[in-house]
Amino acid sequence: MKVALITGGSKGIGREAARLCLKEGMIVYILGRDVEALEETANLLDPEQKVLFSIQADVTDHLACKRAIDEVITRHGRLDLLINNAGMSMRGRVNETTPEVLEAMVHINFLGSAYMTYYALPHITGQKGSIIFTSSLVALHGVPKVAGYAAGKGALTAYTESLRAEVSSKGVHIGIIYVGFTENDPKKVIYSADGSLMPLSKRKNAHTQQDVARYMLKMIKRRKKRMVLTPLGHFSSFLYRFFPNLSDWIIARFNPT
Protein backbone atom coordinates (compact mmCIF):
# COMPACT_ATOMS: atom_id res chain seq x y z
CA MET A 1 0.00 0.00 0.00
CA LYS A 2 1.15 3.51 -0.77
CA VAL A 3 1.82 5.81 2.17
CA ALA A 4 0.83 9.50 2.23
CA LEU A 5 1.66 12.26 4.70
CA ILE A 6 -0.48 15.40 4.76
CA THR A 7 0.50 18.48 6.75
CA GLY A 8 -2.39 20.57 7.97
CA GLY A 9 -4.27 17.29 7.66
CA SER A 10 -6.59 17.64 10.64
CA LYS A 11 -8.82 20.34 9.19
CA GLY A 12 -10.18 21.85 6.01
CA ILE A 13 -8.61 20.92 2.69
CA GLY A 14 -6.11 18.65 4.40
CA ARG A 15 -8.84 16.60 6.05
CA GLU A 16 -10.68 16.19 2.74
CA ALA A 17 -7.44 15.22 0.98
CA ALA A 18 -6.90 12.58 3.67
CA ARG A 19 -10.41 11.27 3.07
CA LEU A 20 -9.76 10.89 -0.66
CA CYS A 21 -6.34 9.30 -0.17
CA LEU A 22 -7.96 6.70 2.08
CA LYS A 23 -10.53 5.99 -0.64
CA GLU A 24 -7.63 5.42 -3.03
CA GLY A 25 -6.39 2.68 -0.71
CA MET A 26 -3.47 4.56 0.82
CA ILE A 27 -2.16 4.51 4.36
CA VAL A 28 -2.46 8.12 5.50
CA TYR A 29 -0.66 10.17 8.12
CA ILE A 30 -2.15 13.52 9.08
CA LEU A 31 0.09 16.08 10.75
CA GLY A 32 -1.01 19.14 12.68
CA ARG A 33 -0.58 21.18 15.85
CA ASP A 34 -4.08 20.79 17.28
CA VAL A 35 -4.32 17.49 19.17
CA GLU A 36 -8.11 17.67 19.50
CA ALA A 37 -8.56 18.28 15.78
CA LEU A 38 -6.22 15.40 14.96
CA GLU A 39 -8.21 13.06 17.20
CA GLU A 40 -11.51 14.27 15.76
CA THR A 41 -10.36 13.67 12.19
CA ALA A 42 -8.87 10.27 13.01
CA ASN A 43 -12.11 9.15 14.68
CA LEU A 44 -14.15 10.49 11.77
CA LEU A 45 -12.14 8.94 8.93
CA ASP A 46 -10.78 5.76 10.51
CA PRO A 47 -12.32 4.98 13.92
CA GLU A 48 -10.32 1.75 14.26
CA GLN A 49 -7.07 3.55 13.32
CA LYS A 50 -5.96 0.82 10.96
CA VAL A 51 -4.94 2.96 7.98
CA LEU A 52 -4.92 6.53 9.30
CA PHE A 53 -2.41 7.79 11.84
CA SER A 54 -1.98 11.23 13.39
CA ILE A 55 1.22 13.08 14.27
CA GLN A 56 1.18 16.15 16.49
CA ALA A 57 3.89 18.49 15.20
CA ASP A 58 4.62 22.08 14.20
CA VAL A 59 6.09 22.34 10.69
CA THR A 60 7.98 25.50 11.63
CA ASP A 61 10.21 23.31 13.83
CA HIS A 62 12.52 21.48 11.44
CA LEU A 63 13.44 18.86 14.04
CA ALA A 64 9.74 18.09 14.53
CA CYS A 65 9.51 17.62 10.76
CA LYS A 66 12.40 15.16 10.88
CA ARG A 67 10.78 13.21 13.71
CA ALA A 68 7.53 13.02 11.75
CA ILE A 69 9.22 11.59 8.66
CA ASP A 70 11.23 9.18 10.81
CA GLU A 71 8.02 7.94 12.43
CA VAL A 72 6.42 7.22 9.07
CA ILE A 73 9.46 5.33 7.81
CA THR A 74 9.89 3.39 11.06
CA ARG A 75 6.26 2.26 10.97
CA HIS A 76 5.74 1.59 7.29
CA GLY A 77 9.15 1.70 5.63
CA ARG A 78 8.15 3.96 2.76
CA LEU A 79 6.66 7.31 1.80
CA ASP A 80 5.01 7.79 -1.59
CA LEU A 81 3.20 11.09 -1.24
CA LEU A 82 3.80 14.29 0.71
CA ILE A 83 1.13 16.99 0.60
CA ASN A 84 2.48 20.25 2.03
CA ASN A 85 -0.83 21.78 2.98
CA ALA A 86 -0.13 23.52 6.30
CA GLY A 87 -0.52 27.28 6.12
CA MET A 88 -2.02 30.35 7.74
CA SER A 89 -3.19 33.69 6.40
CA MET A 90 -3.18 37.26 7.70
CA ARG A 91 -4.78 40.65 7.22
CA GLY A 92 -2.96 43.95 7.54
CA ARG A 93 -1.32 46.71 5.56
CA VAL A 94 2.43 46.51 5.01
CA ASN A 95 3.18 49.54 7.19
CA GLU A 96 1.14 48.05 10.05
CA THR A 97 2.33 44.43 9.93
CA THR A 98 4.90 43.63 12.61
CA PRO A 99 8.17 41.83 11.85
CA GLU A 100 6.96 38.95 14.03
CA VAL A 101 3.91 38.42 11.80
CA LEU A 102 6.07 38.55 8.68
CA GLU A 103 8.38 35.93 10.15
CA ALA A 104 5.40 33.74 11.03
CA MET A 105 4.06 33.99 7.47
CA VAL A 106 7.37 32.90 5.98
CA HIS A 107 7.88 30.11 8.51
CA ILE A 108 4.38 28.65 8.26
CA ASN A 109 3.71 29.09 4.55
CA PHE A 110 7.16 28.49 3.07
CA LEU A 111 9.80 27.13 5.42
CA GLY A 112 7.48 24.52 6.92
CA SER A 113 6.97 23.01 3.47
CA ALA A 114 10.69 23.25 2.70
CA TYR A 115 11.59 21.49 5.97
CA MET A 116 9.15 18.65 5.34
CA THR A 117 10.37 18.28 1.78
CA TYR A 118 14.02 18.16 2.85
CA TYR A 119 13.46 15.22 5.17
CA ALA A 120 10.94 13.43 2.95
CA LEU A 121 12.75 13.76 -0.37
CA PRO A 122 15.08 10.72 -0.13
CA HIS A 123 12.12 8.47 0.63
CA ILE A 124 9.85 10.01 -2.02
CA THR A 125 12.66 9.64 -4.56
CA GLY A 126 13.00 5.97 -3.74
CA GLN A 127 9.32 5.44 -4.60
CA LYS A 128 9.26 7.84 -7.58
CA GLY A 129 6.43 9.50 -5.72
CA SER A 130 4.84 12.94 -5.53
CA ILE A 131 5.32 16.09 -3.47
CA ILE A 132 2.43 18.54 -3.65
CA PHE A 133 2.40 22.15 -2.43
CA THR A 134 -0.78 24.06 -1.60
CA SER A 135 -0.37 27.68 -2.65
CA SER A 136 -2.78 30.54 -3.28
CA LEU A 137 -3.89 32.79 -6.11
CA VAL A 138 -2.31 35.70 -4.23
CA ALA A 139 1.05 34.05 -4.93
CA LEU A 140 0.46 34.76 -8.62
CA HIS A 141 -0.49 38.38 -8.04
CA GLY A 142 -0.44 39.98 -4.60
CA VAL A 143 -3.49 41.82 -3.33
CA PRO A 144 -3.83 44.45 -0.59
CA LYS A 145 -3.56 43.54 3.10
CA VAL A 146 -2.02 40.08 2.62
CA ALA A 147 1.57 40.93 1.63
CA GLY A 148 3.18 38.61 4.18
CA TYR A 149 0.96 35.70 3.24
CA ALA A 150 1.43 36.34 -0.48
CA ALA A 151 5.21 36.43 -0.01
CA GLY A 152 5.24 33.16 1.91
CA LYS A 153 3.09 31.37 -0.64
CA GLY A 154 4.86 33.09 -3.53
CA ALA A 155 8.18 31.67 -2.39
CA LEU A 156 6.77 28.20 -3.00
CA THR A 157 6.58 28.91 -6.74
CA ALA A 158 10.31 29.45 -7.17
CA TYR A 159 11.07 26.64 -4.72
CA THR A 160 8.97 24.08 -6.59
CA GLU A 161 10.43 25.10 -9.95
CA SER A 162 13.98 24.67 -8.65
CA LEU A 163 13.10 21.40 -6.94
CA ARG A 164 11.44 20.03 -10.07
CA ALA A 165 14.50 20.87 -12.15
CA GLU A 166 16.63 18.86 -9.73
CA VAL A 167 14.50 15.74 -9.26
CA SER A 168 12.24 15.26 -12.29
CA SER A 169 14.88 13.15 -14.02
CA LYS A 170 14.66 10.76 -11.06
CA GLY A 171 10.96 10.20 -11.61
CA VAL A 172 9.75 12.42 -8.78
CA HIS A 173 6.56 14.39 -9.39
CA ILE A 174 6.46 17.96 -8.04
CA GLY A 175 3.13 19.76 -8.20
CA ILE A 176 1.82 23.11 -6.97
CA ILE A 177 -1.85 24.03 -6.78
CA TYR A 178 -2.99 27.65 -6.57
CA VAL A 179 -6.18 27.76 -4.54
CA GLY A 180 -8.70 30.59 -4.62
CA PHE A 181 -11.35 31.47 -2.04
CA THR A 182 -12.30 28.24 -0.28
CA GLU A 183 -14.91 27.66 2.40
CA ASN A 184 -13.29 27.84 5.80
CA ASP A 185 -13.88 25.96 9.02
CA PRO A 186 -16.15 27.88 11.44
CA LYS A 187 -13.38 28.30 14.01
CA LYS A 188 -10.63 29.26 11.56
CA VAL A 189 -8.48 32.19 12.64
CA ILE A 190 -5.81 34.28 10.93
CA TYR A 191 -3.20 36.78 12.09
CA SER A 192 -3.99 40.47 12.27
CA ALA A 193 -1.23 43.00 11.61
CA ASP A 194 -0.20 43.15 15.27
CA GLY A 195 -0.03 39.38 15.69
CA SER A 196 -3.32 38.87 17.48
CA LEU A 197 -5.65 36.20 16.14
CA MET A 198 -8.89 37.16 14.43
CA PRO A 199 -11.72 35.02 13.01
CA LEU A 200 -11.89 34.57 9.26
CA SER A 201 -15.27 35.68 7.96
CA LYS A 202 -17.41 33.25 5.98
CA ARG A 203 -16.69 33.42 2.27
CA LYS A 204 -19.34 33.70 -0.42
CA ASN A 205 -19.12 31.85 -3.74
CA ALA A 206 -16.14 29.88 -2.47
CA HIS A 207 -14.88 26.48 -3.56
CA THR A 208 -15.80 23.70 -1.19
CA GLN A 209 -12.97 21.98 0.60
CA GLN A 210 -14.03 18.76 -1.10
CA ASP A 211 -13.70 20.37 -4.54
CA VAL A 212 -10.15 21.53 -3.83
CA ALA A 213 -9.17 18.10 -2.51
CA ARG A 214 -10.58 16.45 -5.64
CA TYR A 215 -8.50 18.75 -7.83
CA MET A 216 -5.48 17.90 -5.71
CA LEU A 217 -6.00 14.16 -6.19
CA LYS A 218 -6.47 14.71 -9.92
CA MET A 219 -3.12 16.54 -9.98
CA ILE A 220 -1.46 13.60 -8.23
CA LYS A 221 -2.97 10.95 -10.50
CA ARG A 222 -2.09 12.84 -13.68
CA ARG A 223 1.24 14.02 -12.27
CA LYS A 224 0.47 17.59 -13.30
CA LYS A 225 3.04 20.26 -12.52
CA ARG A 226 0.77 23.23 -11.94
CA MET A 227 -2.91 23.84 -11.40
CA VAL A 228 -4.72 27.17 -11.05
CA LEU A 229 -8.22 26.92 -9.59
CA THR A 230 -11.32 29.02 -10.28
CA PRO A 231 -12.17 31.03 -13.40
CA LEU A 232 -11.07 34.15 -11.48
CA GLY A 233 -7.61 32.67 -11.09
CA HIS A 234 -7.28 32.00 -14.81
CA PHE A 235 -8.67 35.43 -15.68
CA SER A 236 -6.36 37.27 -13.29
CA SER A 237 -3.33 35.40 -14.68
CA PHE A 238 -4.37 36.32 -18.23
CA LEU A 239 -5.03 39.93 -17.28
CA TYR A 240 -1.70 40.34 -15.49
CA ARG A 241 0.21 38.87 -18.41
CA PHE A 242 -1.37 40.88 -21.22
CA PHE A 243 -2.82 43.96 -19.47
CA PRO A 244 -0.60 44.56 -16.43
CA ASN A 245 -1.63 48.18 -15.84
CA LEU A 246 -5.32 47.31 -15.86
CA SER A 247 -4.59 44.35 -13.61
CA ASP A 248 -2.79 46.58 -11.10
CA TRP A 249 -5.67 49.06 -11.13
CA ILE A 250 -8.20 46.33 -10.36
CA ILE A 251 -6.06 44.64 -7.72
CA ALA A 252 -5.48 47.94 -5.89
CA ARG A 253 -9.24 48.17 -5.37
CA PHE A 254 -9.63 44.60 -4.18
CA ASN A 255 -10.47 44.16 -0.51
CA PRO A 256 -10.00 40.61 0.79
CA THR A 257 -12.33 39.49 3.58
Q: What's the CATH number where 197 sits?
A: 3.40.50.720
Q: Give Cα 110 distance to the centre of its chain.
A: 9
| Number of domains the chain is built from | 1
Q: What percent of the chain has pLDDT above 70?
A: 88
Average pLDDT, stretch 21-49? 96
Rounded distance, CA 87 to CA 3, Å? Answer: 22
195 domain-assigned: yes
18 domain-assigned: yes
Quick check: 229 and 207 in contact, CB under 8 A?
yes
Q: State the pLDDT at residue 141.
A: 84
Q: State the pLDDT at residue 240.
A: 55
Residue-number span of the structural domain to which 94 is assigned: 3-232
Rounded distance, CA 43 to CA 8, Å? Answer: 16
254 domain-assigned: no
60 domain-assigned: yes
Q: How many CA atoms lie within 13 A of 164 on its CB side?
A: 18
Asked whether the predicted pLDDT for residue 46 surpasses 80, the reply is yes
Q: State the pLDDT at residue 211.
A: 95
The conformation of residue 247, written as its DSSP 8-state character, comes to H
88 domain-assigned: yes
Q: State the pLDDT at residue 236.
A: 62
| pLDDT band, residue 143 (cuts 50/70/90) | confident
Quick check: 108 and 152 in contact, CB under 8 A?
yes
- Specify the higher pLDDT residue, 252 or 14: 14
242 domain-assigned: no
Rounded distance, CA 219 to CA 52, Å? Answer: 22
The b-or-e profile of 64-103 (16+ CB within 10 A means b, else e) is bbbebbebbbeeeebbbbbbbbbbbbbbbeeeebeeebbe
Supply φ then ψ for residue 72, to 5 degrees. -60, -45
Active site residue 118: no
253 domain-assigned: no
Among candidate residues 29, 119, 149, 178, the one labeled active-site is 149
